[in-house]
Amino acid sequence: MIVKIDHIGIAVKSMEATTKMYSDMLGLEVEEIETMEEQKARLAMIPVGNSKIELIESSDPEGALAKYIEKKGEGIHHLALEVSDIQGMLKVLKEKGVPLLDTEPRTGFGGSRIAFIHPRATKVLIELVEH
């Protein structure tokens, strides 16, 4: 059911400064930027081969992401795994007693369906993505 690593999410304070750095230093270009009101964040996708880097900037200084950056600093926020059937994957994880942050999929970048596994289960925040 897991297809591939979809992207690595990186929490950043400044989308503009970070995208410029990725462009100037590594020659990587942003494919698309999207604002996710529900998540209080701006997201930028940077293609790298068959995967992506997702830059995540808080759009609310009091939001969860801003607090995360304040506490832990900028850097890797989550690992996203593409799945072929997110509902089926969530069902299997629930049956195994895996702690989930989302028991039902919600809307993610580009209209994808996403759900998060609690990091206490996997040592890192994992996002499941169905395109």
pLDDT score of 16: 96
pLDDT score of 18: 97
SS3 108: coil
Sorted by sequence, the CB contacts under 8 Å of residue 30 that are 6+ apart come out as 19, 22, 23, 44, 45, 46, 55
* Residue that the structure tokens 């100037």 belong to: 24
The domain of 100 spans: 2-130
**pLDDT tens-digit map of 88-106:** 999 999 999 999 999 999 9
CATH number of the domain where residue 7 is located:
3.10.180.10
Q: Work out how many domains the chain is built from and give that number.
A: 1
Other C-beta atoms closer than 10 Å to the C-beta of 35 total 11
